[in-house]
Chain A
Amino acid sequence: MPTAAPSRDGPEPAAIHARQRWMSVLAKAPAEAVERAWRDLRPPPGYDLLRPAETGLAMIQARMGGSGRPFHLGEMTMTRCAVRLADGTTGFSHIAGRDRRKAELAAAFDALLQRPADQARLLADVIAPMERALLARKQATADKVAATKVEFFTLARGD
C-alpha cells in the first residue's frame, strides 16, 4: 500500500522525482485550472481529510551574498493539506498562498497520481497541460525580456 512517509529504505529516486514534478506543477498552476481538472474527473473520487487545509507562514531563507550562510529574509503565506482516498492512499499538498480549496484538490490529485492505475492518464490529461501552460507563460515573459537585452557596439577612438 502506498504510504505518505518514505519507508525505511525510501522510495525509488525516480518515483520521488516524478512526484516532485507533479507537486510543483499543482502548486504553481492557477486555482481555476486545478478546479477545472478536478471537475473533469468523472466522477470525482471521494477522500477523507487527514489534516484539513491550514494556512500559515513559511520563513524564507536566503544566503549572504547569494551563496554564503543562510539568513531569514521574511515570510510568505502557504497552505497545506493532507487527504486519504478510500483505498488508503495518502496525498499531501504544500502551496504558496492562502487558497484552501486549491490545497485540498492538490492533495487529492497527489493521492490519485500515486495510484499506478491512474498515474499515466492523469499525468497526460492533468499535469502535462498545466505544465505546458506554465512554460508558455514563462516563455512569453522570456521573449519580452530578451528584447531588452543590450547589444554593445564598441566605438573606435582616435589615440
Chain B
Amino acid sequence: MYVAVKGGERAIDNAHRLLAEARRGDPATPELSLDQIDQQLALAVDRVMTEGSVYDRELAALAVKQARGDLIEAIFLLRAYRTTLPRLAVTCPVDTARMSVRRRISATFKDLPGGQVLGPTFDYTHRLLDFSLAAGGGVEPVDTPPGAPTAPTATPKVASLLASEGLIEADDADPAAGPAGDLTRQPLTFPAGREVRLQNLARGDEGFLLSLAYSTQRGYGRSHPFAGEIRMGEVAIEIVPPELGFPVEIGEITLSECEMVNQFKGSRTEPPQFTRGYGLSFGEAERKAMAMALVDRSLRAAELGEEATAPAQDGEFVLMHSDNVEASGFLQHLKLPHYVDFQAELVMVRQMRHDAMAAAEPGDG
C-alpha cells in the first residue's frame, strides 16, 4: 500500500542535477561522443539493442551514455523510447543462410563447406590485461592474403548437412500453424508456443539465460549439446510495402546465430535423430545466442516427451522471469514509500511481543 507523499521536489530537481554532474564526471576529461560508444563499446550497444528489442545503434549508444554505462538502465530507456514509435511494417523473415558471414564456426564438423571462419573473436586471446590499450596503442592491420580479392563462398548451414541424411529433426515449418504470436501485442499465456518463447528469450536478460543454460550443462535438465554452428554477420532486411506489392530491402543488420545440436531421441515409429535448439540476437552477441539456444532446447522438453524436472525446462518459470526491465522494476519498487505498510507490521510485531511476554510472565504464585 502506498500513500501520496508530497514535497521533496527541490531535492528531486537537485538529485537530477547531481546525477547529470556525476554522469559527466571530471570536466577536464573529454566527453564521450555517441560515435565513440557505437564504435568502441560496440558490444554494450549490441546488448542494449538486443534486450531493448530495438535495432538502432545510435539510440542504443545514447542510452548507454545516459545510463552511465548501466546496461539494464540503458535497456529500460530504449524500451521506453520504443513505445513512442508507431509500427510501420513487419519484415519478411530474415534468411540467415544468406548472411554475409564475418564469423562462422562449428564444433561438430571440422571440414564444413565454406570453412571455419574465426572473425573478430575473444577466443584464443589469453585474457591478459593489455596495458598497451591503456597507453592508446595503434592497431596492427589484418594480414590479408595478397592477390585477387576473396571470392564469395557459399556457407551452407550445418543443420542442412545433417538433415540431408535425416540425422536431425526437421525445422518445424508447419504452414498451418497460423501467424506467429507477438509478445508486444498479446500478453504471455501458458503453455506458450515456441515462437513466443523464442521472442521472449531474444529479449531476455543475458545473465539470466547464461545461468539457466549453465544449470542444464551441470545436470539440471541435461540436454547433451554440441555447438553445431555459430555464425555472425550481416543480413538484408526486406519489407513488402502495401503500396508497392513487392519486397524491397530497407537495409542490413548484424545478427549472431547459434544452432545447437542436442541429444538424440528415437521411438518405435521414428529412427533416432538429433534434436536442436536455436538462438538469435542482434549484433555480436554470441554468448547470448548460445545460452538462448540451450534454454530453447530445454523448454522443448514437453514437446519431445522428456520429463520436465529442472528450472530451465519450466516454461512459466523461465519466461516470466527472463525480462530484466520487468524484474528490475519490481525489485526497485521496494524503494517506494511503504510507510503505512511497515507501520502496520510494526504495531503487529509490538503487540505480538507484548502478548508473548505476558504469557511467559510467571504467575503471582
**Interface, chain A (partner B; CB < 8 A):** 4-6, 10, 16, 20, 23-24, 27-28, 54-78, 80, 82, 92, 94-98, 138-139, 141-150, 152
Task: Provide the residues of chain B in CB contact with A149, threshold 8 Å.
Answer: 115-118
> How many whole Å from B40's CB to the nearest CB in chain A?
18
Shortest beta-carbon distance from A130 to chain B in Å: 13
Contact B145 A75 (CB under 8 A): no
Tell me the bound Cα distance from A153 to B18 in angstroms: 60
7 extra A-B contacts, CB within 8 A, seeds A57-B54, A64-B172, A65-B172: A57-B82, A58-B89, A58-B237, A62-B255, A66-B278, A96-B252, A148-B120
Binary flags per residue of B160-182, CB closer than 8 Å to A gives 1, else 0 = 10000000000111100100111
B349 within 8 A of A: no
Q: Point out the residue from B103, B110, B198, B248 that lies within 8 Å of A64, measured CB to CB.
A: B198
State in angstroms the CA–CA spacing of A135 and B222 once bound together.
Answer: 45
**Distance A117 CA – B266 CA, assembled complex (angstroms):** 65
Interface string of B206-240 (1 = CB under 8 A from A): 00000000000000000000000000000011010
Query: A residues within 8 A CB of B246?
Result: 6, 16, 20
Which residues of B260-307 are within 8 A (CB) of A?
Answer: 276, 278, 280, 282
Asked if B182 and A57 sit within 8 Å, CB to CB, the answer is no
**Any A CB within 8 A of the CB of B107:** no
Q: Is B13 an interface residue (CB 8 A)?
A: no
A60-B253, A76-B56, A148-B117 known; A69-B172 Cβ under 8 A = yes
In whole Å, how far is B286's beta carbon from the nearest beta carbon of chain A? Answer: 15
Q: Within the assembled complex, what's the spacing in Å between the Cα atoms of A68 and B174?
A: 8
In the assembled complex, the CB of A128 is this many whole angstroms from the nearest CB of chain B, namely 17
Binding site for A on B (CB under 8 A): 49-50, 53-56, 58-59, 82, 85-94, 96-97, 100-103, 110-111, 115-120, 142-145, 149-150, 152, 157, 159-160, 171-174, 177, 180-184, 194-196, 198-199, 202-203, 236-237, 239, 241, 243-253, 255, 257, 259, 276, 278, 280, 282
A98 to chain B, nearest CB (A): 7
**CB-CB under 8 A for A73 and B199, given A59-B87, A96-B250, A143-B144:** yes
Q: Is there an interface contact between B54 and A77, defined as CB atoms closer than 8 Å?
A: yes
- Verify A74–B50 contact, CB threshold 8 A: yes
Contact check: which of A65, A78, A144, A148 meets B259 at CB < 8 Å? A65
A60 vs chain B, min Cβ distance (A): 5
> Which residues from B are CB-within-8-Å of A10?
245
A78-B96 in contact given A4-B244, A58-B88 (Cβ < 8 Å): no
CA A57 to CA B94, docked complex, whole Å: 16
Partner of B91, one of A5, A58, A68: A58
Sampled A-B contacts (25; CB under 8 Å)? A5-B245, A24-B248, A28-B249, A58-B87, A58-B88, A58-B239, A59-B87, A60-B94, A62-B198, A63-B96, A64-B171, A65-B159, A66-B96, A66-B278, A68-B171, A69-B172, A69-B174, A69-B180, A72-B180, A75-B54, A77-B59, A96-B251, A98-B59, A145-B102, A149-B116
Known: A5-B243, A72-B180. A57 touches B86 (CB 8 A): yes
| 8 nearest A-B residue pairs (beta carbon) | A96-B251, A68-B171, A71-B195, A76-B55, A56-B88, A24-B249, A74-B53, A146-B150
Q: Contact check: which of A24, A56, A71 meets B86 at CB < 8 Å?
A: A56
Q: Which residues of A contact B243 (CB under 8 A)?
A: 4-5, 82, 92
Q: Give the residue name and chain of the B residue nearest to A151 (CB).
A: B115
Do residues A74 and B90 form an inter-chain contact, with CB atoms below 8 A? no
A55 to B203, CA, bound (A): 22
Q: Are B152 and A65 in contact (CB under 8 A)?
A: no
Q: Do the beta carbons of A27 and B91 come within 8 Å of each other?
A: no
Residues of A near B253 (CB, < 8 A) are 60, 76, 96
Contact B87 A74, beta carbon cutoff 8 Å: no
Whether B54 contacts A74 by the Cβ 8 Å rule is yes
What separation, in Å, do the CA atoms of A80 and B242 have in the docked complex? 12
Q: A72-B184, A92-B243 are in contact. Are A28 and B85 (CB under 8 A)?
A: no
Q: Which of B89, B119, B247, B252 contacts A145 (CB 8 A)?
A: B119
Q: How far is the CB of A73 from chain B (nearest CB, A)?
A: 5
Contact B54 A145 (CB under 8 A): no
Q: How far is the CA of A116 from the CA of B152 in the complex (A)?
A: 34
Q: Are B171 and A67 in contact (CB under 8 A)?
A: yes
Would you call B150 and A139 a contact (CB within 8 A)?
yes
Contacts of A16 in B (CB 8 A): 246
